[in-house]
């Protein structure tokens, strides 16, 4: 599980939220598959709305170019972002994301390796609505400032607790990684972040940094499924 600070600035979040005021919303259970549909109680913006298509395309570019997202997920394919809204008493019970998703208006499919939530509401705008992710270290509770992102393995059980006051608005998407194995992907992320930290500190020689880059990229060559 990786948190990315401020993928969107506060001004950018404001623009997105103002655009969402002009969109159509529909019952979220229409988009859930299998058992997930019975525990999903929220609203989702109509993906065919031109406003939503424009917002999704803009976010696709931002997600695909965000260094820490790329480092954590190594995305090969990204599902068009979906916008959801939880009002009072709405929630999404424990579920696992579908392993295979068909890309909209396409015959192409995506294997969901990495899930992502981008928060558009500030934590003090609503009560409840925490994203709970089951991990090997127990349940992790996530409630981030607007514009912040959390990415986590799509294979994990997770839920959104009931909103008891206010309204929670967020963006969700899924990615097929070039490296399907979560443990290998986590190790590559740690290695890349260590290299970036060494570059920032400026105390490591260029020769040693080149050697680390060589190891990192050769590991990606070894484990990538492209």
CA–CA dist 212, 195 (Å, integer): 7
Owner of token pair 């820490």: 68
**From the centroid of its chain, how far is CA 61?**
14
Return the pLDDT at 36.
67
Q: Per-residue confidence of the chain (226 residues) as pLDDT tens digits?
A: 899 998 999 999 999 999 999 998 998 777 666 666 789 899 999 999 999 999 999 999 999 999 999 999 999 999 999 999 999 999 999 999 999 999 988 899 999 999 999 999 999 999 999 999 998 888 999 999 999 999 999 999 999 999 999 999 999 999 999 999 999 999 999 999 999 999 999 999 999 999 999 999 999 999 999 8
Residue 80 · residue 56 · CB < 8 Å:
yes
Cα dihedral 60, 30, 22, 58, rounded to 10, equals: 0
Q: What are the angstrom distances between the C-alpha of 80 and each of 32, 61, 87, 210, 215?
A: 15, 10, 23, 35, 32
For residue 97, say whether it is annotated as part of any ligand binding site.
yes
Cα dihedral 118, 1, 88, 166, rounded to 10, equals: -60
Nearest to 115 by CA among 128, 92, 131: 131
For residue 192, say whether it is annotated as part of any ligand binding site.
no
For residue 168, say whether it is annotated as part of any ligand binding site.
yes
For residue 158, say whether it is annotated as part of any ligand binding site.
yes
Return the pLDDT at 119.
98
This prediction has a pTM of 0.92
Return the pLDDT at 60.
94
């Amino acid at each position: 599980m990786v948190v990315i600070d401020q993928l969107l600035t506060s001004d950018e979040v404001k623009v997105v939220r103002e655009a969402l005021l002009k969109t159509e919303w529909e019952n979220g259970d229409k988009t859930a598959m299998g058992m997930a549909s019975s525990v999903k109680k929220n609203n989702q913006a109509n993906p065919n709305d031109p406003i939503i298509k424009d917002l999704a395309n803009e976010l696709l570019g931002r997600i695909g170019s965000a260094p820490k997202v790329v480092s954590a997920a190594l995305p090969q394919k990204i599902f068009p972002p979906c916008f959801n809204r939880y009002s009072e008493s709405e929630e999404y019970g424990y579920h696992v994301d579908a392993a295979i998703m068909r890309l909209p208006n396409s015959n192409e499919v995506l294997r969901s390796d990495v899930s992502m939530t981008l928060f558009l509401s500030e934590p003090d705008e609503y009560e409840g609505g925490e994203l709970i992710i089951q991990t090997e270290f127990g349940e992790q509770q996530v409630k981030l400032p607007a514009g912040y992102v959390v990415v986590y393995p799509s294979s994990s059980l997770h839920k959104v607790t009931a909103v008891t006051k206010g309204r929670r608005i967020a963006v969700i998407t899924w990615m097929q990684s070039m490296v399907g194995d979560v443990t290998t992907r986590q190790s590559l992320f740690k290695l890349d972040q260590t290299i970036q930290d060494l570059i920032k500190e400026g105390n490591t020689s260029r020769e040693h940094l080149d050697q680390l880059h060589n190891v990192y990229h050769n590991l990606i060559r070894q484990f990538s499924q492209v």
